[in-house]
Copies of this chain bind each other. A is one copy, B any other.
């Protein structure tokens, strides 16, 4: 059963890769004299200039993430060598690699360190995943938006098929026909964790085959993988004729995506 949720689905996630230029949030917080955890500096609240129906957009991240030298949290002013465009958060925005986009505020106006997480409307009512049985009425009545278990921060393990593309036509005879076809796509895990394998299935998930994998970007200075992995699998064209569907799944360590 597929049911319309409260929000909308990003499908195979909205993942892209870009080169960002900026200053470390960590350095700015240290320069400003951030207090210790025991003195109450536990959350870094960030607010932007996007005035929405329920006020300006804002959210917060844990102090440990903001201050982790491996986490690479950035106040960015350039993307791929060019100044941010207005749509992408000019003049400065937050980048938190491996996190969902909703925490990376654009048009940054305010950074505020607090003992509590952000009290912004959108920190609670956006970028949460509630269990399927919790509908809008129940979510409000029972305070599900405030339960810390349902926040999204790090992206989950994702993979997607790129080729064949939607409505792609494969010639089986004639000069353009080929005896093999290369199925390909990408995979990604949040938190800087490496995707260590990608697999495809042609029989509805009964059996899985190991793909070739390329990760053109090397891990960062402390071993974090912030960029996606590409995978591909060469298959006899004849097998595609009998395939129920083409599925992919990725693994991060011994964890994989849930079964459908």
Contacts and interface: CB of A to CB of B under 8 A. Distances in A.
Given A129-B254, A156-B253, A207-B133, A191 B190 contact: no
Interface in A229-258: 251-256, 258
Contacts of A153: 253
Given A62-B223, A149-B197, A68 B68 contact: no
B251 A149 contact: yes
Contacts of A131: 208, 210
A65 B259 CA distance: 30
Interface string A79-93: 000000000000000
Contacts of A258: 256, 258-259
A219 interface: yes
Interface in A56-102: 62, 64-65, 68-70
Interface string A123-135: 0000001010100
A155 interface: yes
A178 to B, nearest CB: 26
Interface of A: 62, 64-65, 68-70, 129, 131, 133, 147-157, 190-191, 193, 196-197, 207-208, 210, 213, 219, 222-223, 251-256, 258-259
Given A68-B70, A129-B254, A147-B210, 14 more contacts: A64-B219, A64-B222, A68-B223, A148-B196, A149-B196, A149-B197, A149-B210, A152-B253, A156-B253, A156-B255, A190-B254, A191-B191, A256-B258, A259-B259
